[in-house]
Structure 1
Amino acid sequence: MGDQQILKGEEFEGKAEKKIKGWGLFGSKYEDAAELYQKAANSFKLAKTWDRAAIVYIKLATCNVKLGSKHEAATAYVDAANCYKKTSPKQAISCLDEAVNMFLEINRLNMGARYCKEIGELYEQKQIFDQAIVYFERSADLYQTEEVATSASQCRQKVAQFSAQLGKYQKAIEIYEEVASYSLNNNLLKYGARGHLLNAGICQLCKGDIVAINNAVEKYQDLDPTFSRTRECKLLTDLADAVDEEDVAKFTAAIKEFDSISKLDAWRTTLLLRVKENLKAKELEEDDLT
């Protein structure tokens, strides 16, 4: 069946090329070619020849641009990207970029936001976090413009997550504090605020400024009157004390106590390990001096 579909795809593609090169009314020949390219792409997809399907979708997009149909052209680029996701994430990103630009040109900001987010996710999968930040930030801005606050918040949290991973702790802190404030003013989200405040506090610990850490914990208790009674607040307070005392054992014990009830995710664990390594390094420095 695959070989048969490939032959059908090649036949449709060939006919489309002839339509474009041949005579005919400008609009009608591109309309006819677009229809044939769509059929060719479908055949290549059925044959699971993803690269060939993607290439045909790009040709379809070009036809739609000639016809002045930017929405259809952008959709064809998205279809091309979905095929390339199976073979070449780099090419998928390129096609989604084209789609985003076209959606923004026709003021479809919500669609632009959606596909910026997809590009961010592809960069996340490739662990290219600096580029992921660029696209998640762009997506957040577009969602905010469209007043899709929840999606904007989700994208900003991604920006905070990757910023912290890259050592840009202040940027992450500001985002997590902002998201926590937003959550506290929303009855559906307010119970998640403690998690955002914990994330912000962990980033403060990574910065290593004990005065800033203690000030942050006080600030979070003022921001959320219930925070002081949470396990998240106790963890931050215990960790801050351990950092102040340069006590690795106390630091480790506080994490183990929290983790025994609420499992720490990989991101939090990674950042806390950085803090622990800094504490160990200070201990070694002091041992060398004595």
Structure 2
Amino acid sequence: MANQIAKGEDFQKQAEKKLTGWGLFTSKHEDAAELFDKAANAFKLAKSWEQAGAVYVKLANCHLKSDSKHEAATAYADAAHSYKKIQAKESVSYLEESVNLFMEIGRLNMAAKYYKEIAEIYESGEDLEKAIIYYERATDLFQSEDVTTSANQCRQKIAQFAAQLEQYQKAIEIYEDIARQSLSNNLLKYGVKGHLLNAGICQLCKGNGDSIAINNGLERYQDLDPTFAGSREYRLLVDLAEAIDEEDIDKFTGALKEYDSMTQLDAWKTTLLLRVKDMIKAKELEEDDLT
């Protein structure tokens, strides 16, 4: 590794010397770029991520001087991926630089890809508000390029985090829209019941202990997909709505256990359904206080 660092530092010195010299027959920026690229590769092999990131930034600047915006955007992304190993904030900053250049040259698919990557960085840092912002930006660009699958993957993340942040209506609208779109696609049809279940769980949370929202939702979902009424997802939502109406915690828990024995509830669903359970308990306590 020490050998690779020495190599990298030597290539970097050569590149910087090129930049201070004259480029009579060739572009000094192109010559320096070639050497910076070699330096960055050596630093990567040595796993010296900070040095690699810094050199990729210099490489990007060389490409900009040569008006090679695509190469500059790629170098900024490489810088971001090096910094990602050690400094998430720096990584986001250089991915933004990359996105701006890709947008400028009309490479919207690449810009969308890196917006999604920024969203994932914020997601891993549990900054859900910022993750939503960047997933939304990625969605807009994927949709403009008709990359529907990637757009919907981002939208599902937005809905998931919106619900976690108690923005239930936003989540409901996204899940319902994805379900509607999926019905017309043979490859995506199998996921419709799952999207409607997610929307229904958000309806339960939004109802704040009242079953009106979910009952209205269930009517819409049957109109949207007539096969939904025969599904286990529909049965679960009906049972939970009845338990809410009857303020019956045991019935609510029993319905969840029965469903979970066949199809395991993931952490997201469990978190939201615990909120609903707490609402029923709170309602019970309120009524006890009144009597």
| TM-score category (smaller protein) | over 0.9
CA shift digits 1:129-152 (9 cap, x unpaired): 111111111111111111111111
> Structure 2 CA distance, aligned partners of 1:250 and 1:27?
79
Report the secondary structure of 1:80's partner residue. Answer: helix
- Write the letter of the residue equivalent to 1:273: L
Partner of residue 226, structure 2? 225
Residue 253 of structure 1 corresponds to which residue in structure 2? 254
Asked whether 1:70 is paired with 2:38, we answer: no
1:245 and 1:71 mapped to 2: Cα distance? Answer: 62
Aligned equivalent of 1:171: 170
Alpha carbons of 1:56 and 1:3: their partners in 2 closer, same or farther (altered >3 Å)?
same
- Unaligned stretches of 5+ residues in structure 2: none
AA in 1 matched with 2:103:
L
SS class of match (2:47) = coil
Q: Given residue 7 of structure 2, which amino acid in structure 1 is its aligned partner?
A: K
Q: Among the aligned pairs, what percent are the same residue?
A: 66
Specify the alignment match of 1:284 in structure 2.
Answer: 285
Letter in 2 for 1:182: Q
Partner of 1:86: 85
Match of 2:95 in 1: 96
CA contact (8 A) 1:27 1:67 kept: no
Deviations 1:97-118 (A, max 9, x none): 1111110000000101111111
CA, structure 1 residues 30+268, in 2 after alignment: closer, same or farther (shift >3 Å)? same
Q: Give the C-alpha shift of residue 22 in structure 1.
A: 2.2
Amino acid of the residue matched to residue 234 of structure 1? R
Quick one: which amino acid aligns to residue 5 of structure 1?
Q
SS of the aligned residue for 1:226 comes to: helix
Q: Which amino acid counterpart does residue 174 of structure 1 have in structure 2?
A: E
- Spell out structure 1 runs of 4+ moving beyond 6 A: none
Does structure 2 retain, via aligned residues, the 8 Å contact 1:160–1:171? yes
Pair 1:288–1:19, CA change in 2 (3 A): same
| Aligned counterparts, 1:153-168, within 5 A | 153-168=152-167
Distance 2:24 2:238 in 1: 75
What aligned pairs does 1:97-246 form with structure 2 within 5 A after superposition? Answer: 97-208=96-207, 209-246=210-247
What is the distance in 2 between the residues matched to 1:84 and 1:242?
A: 51
| Structure 1 position 25, deviation (Å) | 4.3
Q: Which amino acid aligns with 1:206?
A: C
The 1:27–1:197 alpha-carbon spacing in structure 2 relative to 1, beyond 3 Å, is: farther
Moved more, 44-53 or 87-96: 87-96
- Separation (CA, whole Å) in 2 of partners of 1:115 and 1:156: 16
2-structure distance, mates of 1:62, 1:176: 43
Q: How many residues are matched?
A: 289
Deviates more, 1:163-172 or 1:10-19: 10-19
Look up the SS of the partner of 2:263 in the other structure. coil
> Which is further off, 244-253 or 232-241?
244-253
The letter for the 2-side match of 1:245 is E
Give the Cα separation in 2 of the matches to 1:188 and 1:6.
49
Residue identity opposite 1:112 in structure 2: A
- Residue pair 1:78, 1:99 contacting (<8 A) in 2 also: yes
Distance 1:288 1:177 in 2: 38
Q: TM-score, normalised by structure 2?
A: 0.97
Distance (Å, rounded) in 1 between the aligned partners of 2:55 and 2:126:
29
Taking a change above 3 Å as real, the CA distance of residues 228 and 67 of structure 1, as seen in their structure-2 partners, is same
Rounded Cα–Cα distance in structure 1 between residues aligned with 2:106 and 2:3? 41
Offset, 1:153: 1.0
RMSD (Å) for aligned C-alpha atoms: 1.2
Q: Distance in 2 between matches of 1:21 and 1:130?
A: 45
**One-letter amino acid of the counterpart of residue 97, structure 1:** E
One-letter identity of the residue aligned with 1:222: D
Q: CA deviation at 1:270?
A: 0.6
Aligned-pair CA distance for 1:24: 2.6
CA distance in 2: counterparts of 1:47 and 1:140, whole angstroms: 36
Q: Write the letter of the residue equivalent to 1:223.
A: L
